[in-house]
Structures are given as structure tokens and as C-alpha cells.
Structure 1
Amino acid sequence: MTANDEFADALGMMLPRLRRFAFSLSRSPADADDLAAQAVERALRSRAQFMPGTRLDSWLFRITRNLWIDEARSRQRKAAWEAPPEEGERQGFDGAAAIEQSAELATVMRAMGQLPDEQREVVALIMIEGLGYREAAEALGLPIGTVSSRLVRGRNALLASLGAGADT
């Protein structure tokens, strides 16, 4: 019998213990099966890293635990960025709202196009791109006071053009 056969036999004998350990980590039979299978796959690929004469069970448990930590981290990241699937069932597309937003955007863009260049660039940098006054001043090579006055004039012109009045 070769060393590989001995390793495979010992690995096979560890499967019930490995699955129990995986279940203790995941608390789910399906996840435990997947985790144990991943651990066996990793152990077989990393066979050369196992030191003969050391405890195979400890090595396999460490592999399983590391895989579970990776899985738990992945699930946390996913939960932080993805909504649950049932949220998608409650979402819909309101075509009327999209058309209205598109029309409003076109109106605002026409009003922006009517502004003088120096006002339009300040309005675009601060109100659309979200730059601060100092950042916009540095980007345009202007004093902050000039940026501030151009923004006020541009904003008032936009509001007047859009019919909202300059008082807001």
C-alpha cells in the first residue's frame, strides 16, 4: 500500500468526524455537507503539505475551520451589500415615474445649458459632482469668494429658469 493510499484511507475514516465538526460550525446539515466536501477537496489538493507523523484530524479540522471562517466572512459581506431575495419580489418598475424623471432631467439640463460657462462649471462641480467650495476653487484655479458668488448667481438663475423662484 502506498503513502497516498494510506492518506486516502485515513481521510475516509475521518469523514464522520469531519462532518460532525462541520455541522457544529455551520449548524446546518446542508452547509455541513458542503463544508466537509470542501475540506476533503482542499486536503487532497494540499496533500503534500501534510506532515506524516502528525495528527491528520487536527490538520483536517484546521482546514475545515479556516474554510468556515472564509464562508462566514463572505456571507457577512454579501448580507451587507445585497438585499434579501424577497426584497426583489416587492420591487417594481414605475414607468410613469421614470418618464417624469427623464423629463425633469431634460428640463434641468436645458436650464444648465443656458447658464454662462463660468456659472455652469461651478454649479456642475459643486451641486452635481459634490465638490466642496475649496476643492472647486482649486480645480478651477479661482479664489473661493469667486466660486461662491458664481455658485449663488448660477443657482439663482437655475431656480428662476425652472420656475422655482430665487427665494429657495
Structure 2
Amino acid sequence: MAHTTKAPCIEDAWQAHHQELCRFLLKYCGDRDAADELLQRVYAKALADRANFCQLATPKAWLFKVTKHQWIDEKRRAKTWVNADDLELPAETPSPSAIDSLADCIARALPHCPREDADILFECDLNGVKQTDYAQHNGLTLAATKARLRRARMRLRERLVEQCHYL
């Protein structure tokens, strides 16, 4: 009887998460063939490390982590290098940078945001307070803090589009 390289734990995890992994890759690479090739590499890695894989408490997390790293590695491999001496660089212009312009717009928009949004955006995004520290200081769970910050960022983005015409 031939030795099989399949492991039931890998097969079960693969069946449960393959479509989700494929959608994840398609979102980033936009190419079905490239996504399938990357997924084959992920599957091969799982098989190569089957003893450890079968002991994982969360195989889905492992699969997504390896899938993400495979995609990043592929992007690095595909990078084409050019000789910097061959590049024609545009002349520098003294116009204000987009970052400065965006920073000015944020400074003008923040006071018009709801107090709760302005507070979390100011603390976490501008002052660099860790979300865990913000949650603890404000009597929130980390999940609630993350959700509140995400919603505040979405509302700020809408405000920036409206007020400063940023997309």
C-alpha cells in the first residue's frame, strides 16, 4: 500500500476554510490562477508540518497567517528591480505635501465630530495610546474599543470627503 501524505486534520481544516482562503487571496491579488497556486503552497506547508498542524487549537488562524505570508512572499519575488541611474525623476516642487494637507483637514474636521469619536481618534490615532490602555481607562472591552474606533474612523473619513474632498 502506498504511503499517503494526507492527514485527516488537514483535510478537515482545508475543507472548512478553503473557499474563505480563496476569497481572501482574490481580494488582494485579483487573479484566480495566482490564488490557486498560492493556496497549493499553503496546503503543501500544512502537509509538510502535519505533526504540528494537527496539534493546533486554531488551524484557521494558521492557514490565514501562512496564506498571507505566501502572498507577501510572492509580491516580493515578483518585484522587478531597476537601475536607479536609469530613472528620470520628476523635478521637485515646493507644493505642500499631501500629508500636511490631510493633517490640516483632520485638525479642522475633528472638532466637528461627535465628542466620543473625537476623543478616541485623538487618543488612539493621534496620541498613540494603545487600544488596550484606552479600553481600560474608559471602562470598555477591547472589542468594544476596536469597534468604536473603526466606526469613528469611518465617520471621520466621511467628514474628510465632505469637508476636504479627500477620497
TM-score bracket, shorter-length normalisation: 0.3 to 0.5
Give the TM-score of the pair, scaled to structure 2: 0.41
- Which one has a bigger Cα radius of gyration? 1
| Structure ranking higher in helix proportion | 1
